[in-house]
Structure 1
Amino acid sequence: MTQSIFLPDESATLAMGTQWARCVAAPLVIYLNGDLGMGKTTFVRGLLRGLGYQGAVKSPTYAIVESYRLPEYELNHFDLYRFSYPEEWQDAGLDDFFSGNHVNLIEWAVQGGEFVPAPDLVITFSMQNGGRLCIVAAHSASGQRSLNLWQN
């Protein structure tokens, strides 16, 4: 099942992330798809604000992963854009982030090839009419539960 929403600006993307805070529960894997500058990290910033995180939220482009300890679980934000080959997933030991109570958001998951765990949700951002079209697709039962919560 999929759902789409038009996001006219950055504040709408932040607000959408904040709305999703009530819809995610660990364990969960979310792929964030879209070209550079589409709002993927902005969405994560909104999500973390909605979860009560008040610290800095930066893009993990250079660090590969930024982790945030929250009361109920750890949220990990990955960016695989700089991967030259999929095996870098294993070289970096990223599987360790998927063995516990985590919500994992992955930008550029395709760069990790078959090593990246399958998504529960895929959120895709693309340009449309000066804003962003966001399409959310559920790929598992837990992804569908999250999507249902967001739709209601």
Structure 2
Amino acid sequence: MKIIEFTYHLKDIDKIAVNVLSHLNTKTVLFNGDMGAGKTTFINALLKAMKSEDIATSPTFSIVNEYNLPGDKVYHFDFYRIESIEEAYNFGIEDYLTSEHWLFMEWSKRIEELIPSVNQTITISDLQDNKRSLKLTLNTNI
């Protein structure tokens, strides 16, 4: 596993998203970071880089949001409120996991045993003054 790190100002987020997108080699992407670090904001920039006309909003209460891409979809999950694997099964997580569409997952540790083994992780840290650190794991086994 290899990690690429980016440090950026929020005004440059669209350029960083295009760069990160060029390094994604799987459709399952886990987003880590503290509350308010900018995970959904970065997902929004990724959607733009993927030519989506949709705007990402936090699916904290809906658990999953669906966004359209040209010829594909993104399922954006926020598992913050999930308290058990049974809750994930209750909303049909297995249908999403086998869909062959993009899976963007926030707070994925709450359903860790269900996450596809082939995935990449984006970890975002708030550096203050509208600056962020982003670490992207690269899967070298794909």
Task: Give the TM-score range, shorter chain.
Answer: 0.7 to 0.9
Give the superposition deviation at 1:21: 4.1
Q: CA RMSD in A?
A: 2.1
Which residue of structure 2 aligns with residue 95 of structure 1? Answer: 94
Change (3 A) 1:68 1:129: closer
Give the superposition deviation at 1:100: 2.8
What one-letter code is carried by the residue in structure 2 that aligns with 1:137? T
Which residue of structure 1 aligns with residue 116 of structure 2? Answer: 117
Which residue of structure 1 aligns with residue 73 of structure 2? Answer: 74
Larger deviation, residues 84-93 vs 37-46:
84-93
Query: Structure 1-normalised TM-score?
Result: 0.80
Contact persistence 2:53–2:68 (CA under 8 A): no
Which residue of structure 2 aligns with residue 149 of structure 1? Answer: none
The answer for unaligned runs of 5 or more in structure 1 is: 143-152
What one-letter code is carried by the residue in structure 1 that aligns with 2:134? C
Which residue of structure 2 aligns with residue 12 of structure 1? Answer: 12
Contact persistence 1:122–1:139 (CA under 8 A): no
The answer for unaligned runs of 5 or more in structure 2 is: none
Which residue of structure 1 aligns with residue 132 of structure 2? Answer: 132
SS in 2 for 1:87: helix
Q: Which has the higher strand share?
A: 2
SS in 1 for 2:126: strand
Give the superposition deviation at 1:109: 0.2
Query: Structure 2-normalised TM-score?
Result: 0.85
Which residue of structure 1 aligns with residue 42 of structure 2? Answer: 43
Identity of aligned pairs, percent?
A: 26
Contact persistence 1:88–1:112 (CA under 8 A): no
Contact persistence 2:4–2:138 (CA under 8 A): no
